[in-house]
Structure 1
Amino acid sequence: MGYRLLREEMNKLLQALKKNHRVFAPMLLPGKGRFSDTDLIGYGEINDIEEVVFDRKSYFSPKEVFYPITQTLFYFSPGEYREPQLDNRGIILFCRSCDIHAVARLDKIMLENGPYPDTYYLQLRNKLKFVLLDCPSSFTNCFCVSMGTQHAENYSFSLRPENGAYLCDVKEDIEGLFASLGEPWEVTPLFVQQNDITVALPKITEEQVASIITHNLWEEYKTRCIACGRCNTSCPTCSCFTMQDLFYEDNPACGERRRVWASCQVDGFTDMAGGHSFRQDKGQRMRFKVMHKVYDFEKRFGLPMCVGCGRCDDVCPEYISFANCVNKLTTALQEVKQHD
């Protein structure tokens, strides 16, 4: 069922939703850009529909809303511990098709990758409802069509501004708000049909892995990559974290355990007791990341980890393109096959 809402009606709907939900969307963050006096498109809690940025891609992914950059798991004191209280409200997340697919990838890692689900992730994930932002045309560096993530069905309602109003394809009329505020309308979400960038995914067999690992295509990244980790922190499907125990200065016997996002590209990520460290070479770190995104994850779960949002390409200070890395890998694989 589709509906058309004017700005005033859309804001009434938002205010009604906010009674029981926190509502997050891509919005303009003035002065938060990586260069002096520049702005940033990031996720924040909105109060007015005009705060939503429809025509630009967000710098960070929306995963920080339900998988926080820093998350306190529990507080401890001598003889006891307690988990922090959760906000009882649900979470409504305005995001694009690729990001909805990215959450499905995170679910695989956080909920299905071991004998038990990650309960801290699950608590917030269960609160989540998606609002699909229409994507009629491609943004810079996007390659979602190549990854098959340009179309999504898992959303409560879609949203598209058009001629001063907002068109919504409603699959879940939350609290009956659309029926009471909107005008019935024929609405079909718009999805991008073509990107400027095309990625050819490799088909790697187990017998070819050893040849790819030692291939010289990774050599250039020894010096190009500076191990800043921006590609991982902007990625909607990266899930690695590290643990931190904080002890309070006024009472060192008390504190809290936090988990914090980590990156397979940064120094120290693979450090072990005794001083040993895996993948100190930045080229091998790049190999690990690329292979995990397009081979290891798919081998385990049946679909590639990357969703083609292109944020890693957007943020890399060395202009390393993940899309180009994958295409180079595919070409290298063809060379390996010819050699065999």
Structure 2
Amino acid sequence: MGYKTSTAHLDSILRELSKEYSIYAPKTFLGEGTYSDTDRVRYGTVESLGEINFEHKSEFSYKEVLTPISETLFYFTEEEIKESDAPKKGAIIFLRSCDLHAVKRMDDIYLRNGFEDAYYKRIREKTKFILMGCTSSFDSCFCVDMGTNITTNYDAYIKVEGDQAFIDGNFEALLARLEEVEEVSVKPDYVKENQTKVNIPENLSSDIMDSTMWNEYNERCIACGRCNFVCPTCTCFTMQDVFYEGSDGKKAGERRRVWASCQVDGFTEMAGGHSFRGDKGQRMRFKVLHKVHDYKKRFGHHMCVGCGRCDDICPEYISFSACINKLSDGMKEIQK
């Protein structure tokens, strides 16, 4: 059982909630696309349903809310260290089923990976997730084959039809403000079939590392890292120390956690000039096997959620889903 209300009433509730939460959702940024006359859909703060783009897939994921692109961890002077303050507001994130499954992967890495990351945890604990249904699949999505097209792990579900909004869930701060409502049956819309299909071979093993299938990416990949930055489950970061002169004339600075990419030059550089995975094909191999092999061995589910953003963003038209589908032939090759 759920509720039906007007979008105007729900907008008034969202405005009230925005006093306690920063509300993030996919929205259209006019003129900010790849070309001057194109738009871009990515996450931004909203206060009304009209600002949310329910029709198109966001080109970037929700993850920059939970793990900011650049996040100051602490400040330091010559005498002391001060941890950065946590965000004053909580967060509400509108997202699709695949991205909600991606939150579980983020939790695996930051909360269940042998330690708890305090900076991630303080944001995550104050975050609520509102599911956006998918009435049809986008071209590059392969969520069905990855098992991420359906989820029940949401705080609320909202669907908009004209000037009516349908709501389900248990987000008390939202439900407690509902007044002009009608009780109705509300079930989330889920994708049942994708145009893009993937097949992960059952016999996939680390032996696939010896396949020649990775060699083509030495020429095709330009190591820009865009696939990692749009991916909702990539979690790699690096540290940066920024130094400056304090107001009292003494030396001061801050340590920042900044997104990084396993595909770019320098990611594996070590002391003494040593480096691993110098070839771009080796980096592609590392990424693919982490997403659909190694991670599952540890956590019981694949890291990739099939959102297809990496396929959409690659300037060299490298398809991650196509790479997955080459794994069967790669296994046959090494077994000859």
Return the alpha-carbon distance in structure 2 between the equivalents of residues 233 and 183 of structure 1.
Answer: 42
The residue type paired with residue 297 of structure 1 is Y
- Give 3-state SS (helix, strand or coil) of 2:273's partner: coil
Gap change, CA 1:175 and 1:226, over 3 Å in 2: closer
Residue 335 of structure 1 deviates from its aligned partner by 4.0
Partner of 1:59: 59
Q: CA deviation digits over 1:291-338, x for unaligned, max 9?
A: 00011100111110000000000000000000001110123224444x
- 1:239 alignment partner in structure 2: 235
Is 2:282 the partner of 1:284? yes
**How much has 1:128 moved relative to structure 2?**
1.1
Partner of 1:275: 273
Return closer, same or farther for 1:175/1:320 CA change in 2, 3 Å cut-off. Answer: closer
Structure 2 unmatched runs, 5+ = none
1:316 corresponds in structure 2 to 314
RMSD of aligned C-alpha atoms? 1.5
Alpha-carbon separation, structure 2, partners of 1:202 and 1:182: 49
> 2:222 maps to what in 1?
226
Which moved further from structure 2: 130-139 or 29-38? 29-38
- The equivalent residue for 1:122 is 121
CA contact 2:211–2:331 (8 Å) conserved in 1: no
2:206 alignment partner in structure 1:
209
Task: Please give the TM-score of this superposition, normalised by the length of structure 2.
Answer: 0.96
In 2, are the aligned partners of 1:74 and 1:256 still within 8 Å (CA)?
Answer: yes
2:14 is the alignment partner of 1:14: yes
Does structure 2 retain, via aligned residues, the 8 Å contact 1:13–1:181?
Answer: no
Listed one character per residue, the Cα deviations across residues 161-197 of structure 1 (whole Å, up to 9, x for unaligned) are 1143111122333254354243222211110000001
Q: 1:30 to 1:68 in 2, by over 3 A?
A: same
| Partner residue in 2 for 1:301 | 299
Question: 1:168-179, aligned counterparts within 5 Å?
Answer: 168-174=167-173, 176-177=175-176, 179=178
After TM superposition, give the deviation of residue 241 of structure 1 in Å: 0.1
Residue aligned with 1:73, SS: strand
What is the DSSP-based 3-state SS (H/G/I as helix, E as strand, rest coil) of the residue aligned with 1:320? coil
Matches within 5 A, 1:102-181: 102-114=102-114, 116-174=115-173, 176-177=175-176, 179-181=178-180
One-letter code aligned to 1:134: G
- Structure 2 counterpart of 1:191, one-letter code: Y
Equivalent residue pairs, number: 334
Report the identity percentage: 51
What TM-score results when the alignment is normalised by the length of structure 1?
0.95
Is structure 2 residue 180 aligned with structure 1 residue 184?
Answer: no
Give the Cα separation in 1 of the matches to 2:34 and 2:162. Answer: 33
- After alignment, is 150-159 or 32-41 more displaced? 32-41
Contact 1:97–1:152 under 8 Å retained in 2: yes
Say if 1:178 and 1:3 are closer, same or farther in 2 by CA, change over 3 A: farther
How many Å separate the matches in 2 of 1:17 and 1:213?
Answer: 50
Name whichever of 291-300 and 76-85 sits farther off.
Answer: 76-85
Q: Deviation per CA, 1:135-176, whole angstroms, max 9, x where unpaired?
A: 110012000000000001111111111143111122333254
Mean Cα deviation higher: 18-27 or 92-101:
18-27
